[in-house]
């Protein structure tokens, strides 16, 4: 019933990684009856009382007992209080009374109300065993990964403007994701949070799935359904900072508890939040337990760890000073998570050039296994927003990423941050007229899909949302009434399914042998050509991207193999809204060097388009007199029989 000495020792040491089993509200059995135990950490409090619907919010008869000198308080109420609302009434050293939600509550009132709710998480029956076995058999590094980033409340709304519940979204969102070929859904934070427009990034209840969309069991059902359809679920997670609403973690017992004592370190001026004190052992226990909690109870497949750059360096300074507490915390977090499940995705949203973010901690790394490639995103979008005639001066923006593409395990993000707050939608970033915009967006997606690295696309991008993300409204689904948006949606479906079938586009994402430039220097025409390779030579693809609206015929491209090449994908196909400049016939390689390759082909280059070619394989056949005829083809090192 009471916490053990070992539990308390580990909590204050920063290594109690299942602290949610002790802290918070729990139903416990004693002498054949169900009672409710409450436990909270409030090291500076003078008194702590429990208030709620079971005592008319009067805590005089429900004062918690301080069970150690480090500020752990507990009470056992001899009743089953499941479903009751509650808060902690904290009397500070200077006599103030604070009403605080439970930091470890599993459920909370729907905003704008702020009380915690006694809730038992046990009892949901999972049906995702096949998914769990698949994850162990097929590690993600050599598999396709295309993540659909979703804000749960604004993907789609009901006719009356109400949000879909977790359970209802299982029927709405999951079939859509499967149809489009995405491999994972990444959900903007679902921890309890008071303000809709914080998108969940400013939380108050780290253990409480937000009640906006239903109960914790409803969220489990949604994730379970995703897994049954072969879709992984990644949760946006914010261990760096939290909101300062009165009922939350901020100054929890009247003094800095979860946050730094020093105001310079504590205050996150840009976001109006407070930074977690990552040097405090109890905060380590709270946050690392939280990661394991989501993995254990919700079967989350991974985390996109928000604002890593804001953690790695001390805030509010013009000089970048590394924060040793944050570095130590991130390493420990990743070590513990991967010890729990080596197949978890730990994705760092880091905009800095900090080295070895995705290297193991034993090799001096931070221990993540993926990092958002923010540099690629910024450079490519800058290039795409540049007019066709000026792109030749920005050529380096498209080539620079390959100088560091293999220094980390990268995910290429086209995320929510780039289509909100006046930045315009991806479609509307494209220069030119109506047709130009769609053609260039198709080209951008093609380049995105063929560049080394896993992929992420924010919702609405798949059908060419014209307006930027309106974070209080649903996506502009009425755009499906317009031909070009339907064609864009079909294009993304085709591109995604093509990507998943082509091993060259994902098998060697983290191996430099998987990429080779053919022509990286054609700035004048803004044409890029390169090779993607899988583990087997027959999976090789030739990719040609034309970032101008000029069409070229009989354009020479160097190739590595002496064989014929078949066009297998072309974004200029009329079915996608293009002009139809495609290469219908096989393109036979000629034994003349070009672009530093031993052979070349001549092909049609469509305007604002990506063209993908695959070398054909000649089969053995019979000659006119029944004699065996062997076709000659080339390897990277030359021809062979």
Position 130 in a domain: no
The answer to whether residues 272 and 244 touch, using CB atoms and an 8 Å cutoff, is: yes
Same domain, 474 and 553: no
Determine, yes or no, domain membership for 627: no
* pLDDT confidence bin for 630, thresholds 50/70/90: very low
Q: What percent of the chain has pLDDT over 70?
A: 96
Cα 214 to Cα 216: distance, rounded to the nearest angstrom: 7
Calpha distance 107→119 (Å, rounded): 6
Mark whether 331 and 370 lie in a shared domain. yes
pLDDT at residue 627, rounded to an integer: 39
**Domain assignment of residue 210, given as a range:** 144-167+176-505
Cα–Cα distance, 525 to 548 (Å, whole number): 7
Same domain, 412 and 324: yes
Domain boundary pick from 451, 481, 505: 505
According to the model, what pLDDT value does residue 548 have?
98
Answer yes or no: do 338 and 401 share one domain. yes
- DSSP 3-state assignment of 209? strand
The per-residue pLDDT for 31 is 87
Q: Does 253 fall in a domain?
A: yes
CA distance 371 to 243: 25
Q: Does 557 lie in the same domain as 479?
A: no
Under DSSP, is residue 521 helix (H, G, I), strand (E, B) or coil? coil
How many residues comprise the chain?
A: 641
For the segment 582-605, what is each residue's pLDDT rounded down to a tens digit?
999 999 999 999 999 999 999 999
Judged against a pLDDT cut of 90, whether residue 621 lies above it is answered with: no
Q: Mean pLDDT throughout 487-507?
A: 98
CB-based contacts of 50: which residues, under 8 Å, 6+ apart?
38, 59, 62, 63, 64, 75, 77, 86, 88, 89
DSSP H or E stretch at residue 338: helix 324-340
The residue-averaged pLDDT of 35-63 equals: 97
Tell me how many domains the chain contains.
Answer: 3
Q: Is 211 within the bounds of a domain? A: yes
Residue 152 CB contacts under 8 Å (≥ 6 apart), including other chains:
163, 169, 187, 188, 190, 212, 213
Is there a domain that residue 131 lies in?
no
Cα distance between residue 467 and residue 298, in whole Å: 34
Catalytically annotated residues: 306, 349
- The domain that holds 68 is classified in CATH as 2.60.40.10
Positive or negative, the Cα torsion across 415, 421, 427, 432?
negative
Does 84 share its domain with 228? no
- Is there a single domain that holds both residue 422 and residue 474? yes
Q: What angle do CA 305, 114, 40 make, to 5 degrees?
A: 70
Spatial CA neighbour of 174 closest among 165, 163, 185:
185
CATH number at residue 568: 2.60.40.1180
Q: Are 382 and 339 in contact (CB under 8 A)?
A: no
For residue 630, being part of any structural domain is answered with no
Tokens of 557: 């491209």
Query: Domain check: are 336 and 403 in the same one?
Result: yes
Both 70 and 185 in a single domain?
no
Considering the domain architecture, whether residues 196 and 246 belong to the same structural domain is answered as yes
* Residue 43 placed within a domain: yes
Do both 555 and 501 map to the same domain? no
Q: pLDDT tens digits for 507-534?
A: 999 999 999 999 999 999 999 999 999 9
Q: What are phi and psi of 456, to 5 degrees?
A: -145, 135
**Any idea what the CATH number is for the domain that residue 216 is in?**
3.20.20.80
Distance CA 70, CA 90 (A): 16
The answer to whether residue 598 is domain-embedded is yes
Inter-residue contact 40 to 88 (CB < 8 Å): yes
Phi/psi zone of residue 542: left (φ > 0), alpha (ψ -120 to 50 degrees), beta?
beta
**Same domain (yes/no): 65, 157:** no
**Tell me: the pLDDT tens digits for 252-306?**
999 999 999 999 999 998 899 999 999 999 999 999 999 999 999 999 999 999 9
**351-390 pLDDT tens trace:** 999 999 999 999 999 999 999 999 999 999 999 999 999 9
The vertex-220 CA angle with 215 and 221, nearest 5°, equals 95
CB 69 within 8 A of CB 9: no
């Amino acid at each position: 019933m009471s916490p053990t000495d070992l539990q308390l020792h580990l909590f204050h040491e920063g290594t109690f990684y299942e602290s949610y089993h002790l802290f918070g509200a729990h139903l416990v059995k004693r002498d054949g009856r169900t009672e409710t135990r409450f436990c909270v950490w409030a090291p500076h409090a003078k008194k702590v009382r429990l208030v709620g619907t079971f005592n008319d919010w009067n805590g005089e008869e429900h004062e918690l007992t301080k069970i150690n000198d480090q500020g752990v308080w507990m009470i056992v109420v001899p009743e089953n209080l499941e479903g009751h609302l509650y808060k902690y009434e904290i009397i500070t050293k200077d006599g103030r009374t604070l009403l605080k939600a439970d930091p470890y509550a599993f459920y909370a009132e729907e905003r704008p109300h702020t009380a915690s709710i006694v809730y038992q998480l046990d009892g949901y029956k999972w049906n995702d065993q096949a998914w769990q076995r698949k994850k162990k058999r097929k590690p993600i590094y050599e598999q396709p990964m295309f993540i659909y980033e979703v804000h749960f409340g604004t993907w789609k709304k009901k006719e009356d403007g109400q949000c879909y519940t977790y359970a209802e979204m299982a029927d709405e969102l999951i079939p859509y994701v499967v149809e489009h070929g995405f491999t994972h859904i990444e959900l903007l934070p679902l921890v309890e949070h008071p303000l809709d427009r914080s998108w969940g990034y400013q939380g108050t209840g780290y253990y409480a799935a937000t009640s906006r969309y239903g109960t914790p069991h409803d969220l489990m059902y949604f994730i379970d359904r995703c897994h049954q359809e072969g879709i992984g679920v990644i949760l946006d997670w914010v261990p760096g900072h939290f909101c300062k609403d009165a009922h939350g973690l901020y100054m929890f017992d009247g003094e800095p508890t979860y946050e730094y004592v020093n105001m310079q370190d504590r205050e996150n001026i840009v976001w109006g939040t407070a930074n977690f004190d990552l040097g405090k052992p109890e905060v380590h226990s709270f946050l690392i337990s939280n990661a394991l909690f989501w993995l254990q109870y919700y079967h989350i497949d991974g985390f996109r760890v928000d604002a890593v750059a804001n953690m790695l360096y001390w805030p509010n300074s013009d000089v970048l000073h590394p924060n040793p507490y944050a570095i130590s915390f991130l390493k420990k977090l990743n070590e513990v998570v991967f010890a729990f499940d080596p197949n978890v995705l730990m994705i760092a949203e880091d905009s800095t050039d900090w080295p070895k973010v995705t290297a193991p901690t034993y090799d001096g790394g931070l221990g993540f296994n993926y990092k958002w490639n923010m540099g690629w995103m910024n450079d490519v979008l800058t290039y795409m927003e540049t007019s066709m005639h000026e792109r030749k001066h920005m050529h380096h923006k498209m080539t620079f990423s390959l100088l560091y593409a293999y220094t980390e395990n990268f995910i290429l993000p086209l995320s929510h941050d780039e289509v909100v707050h006046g930045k315009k939608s991806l479609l509307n970033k494209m220069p030119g007229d109506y047709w130009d915009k769609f053609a260039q967006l198709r080209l951008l997606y093609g380049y995105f899909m063929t560049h080394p690295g896993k992929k992420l696309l924010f919702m609405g991008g798949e059908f060419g949302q014209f307006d930027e993300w309106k974070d209080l409204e649903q996506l502009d689904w009425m755009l499906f009434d317009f031909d070009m948006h339907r064609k864009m949606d079909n294009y993304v479906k085709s591109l995604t399914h093509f990507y998943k079938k082509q091993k060259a586009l994902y098998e060697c994402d983290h191996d430099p042998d998987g990429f080779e430039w053919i022509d990286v220097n054609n700035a004048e025409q803004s044409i890029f050509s390169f090779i993607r390779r899988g583990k087997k030579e027959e999976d090789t693809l030739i990719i040609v991207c034309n970032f101008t609206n000029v069409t070229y015929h009989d354009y020479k491209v160097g190739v590595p193999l002496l064989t014929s090449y078949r066009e297998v994908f072309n974004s200029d196909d009329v079915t996608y809204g293009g002009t139809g400049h495609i290469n219908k016939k096989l393109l036979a390689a000629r034994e003349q060097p070009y672009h530093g390759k031993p052979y070349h082909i001549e092909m049609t280059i469509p305007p604002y388009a990506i063209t993908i070619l695959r070398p054909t394989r000649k089969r053995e056949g019979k000659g006119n007199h029944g004699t065996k005829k062997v076709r000659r083809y080339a390897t990277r090192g030359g021809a062979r029989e």
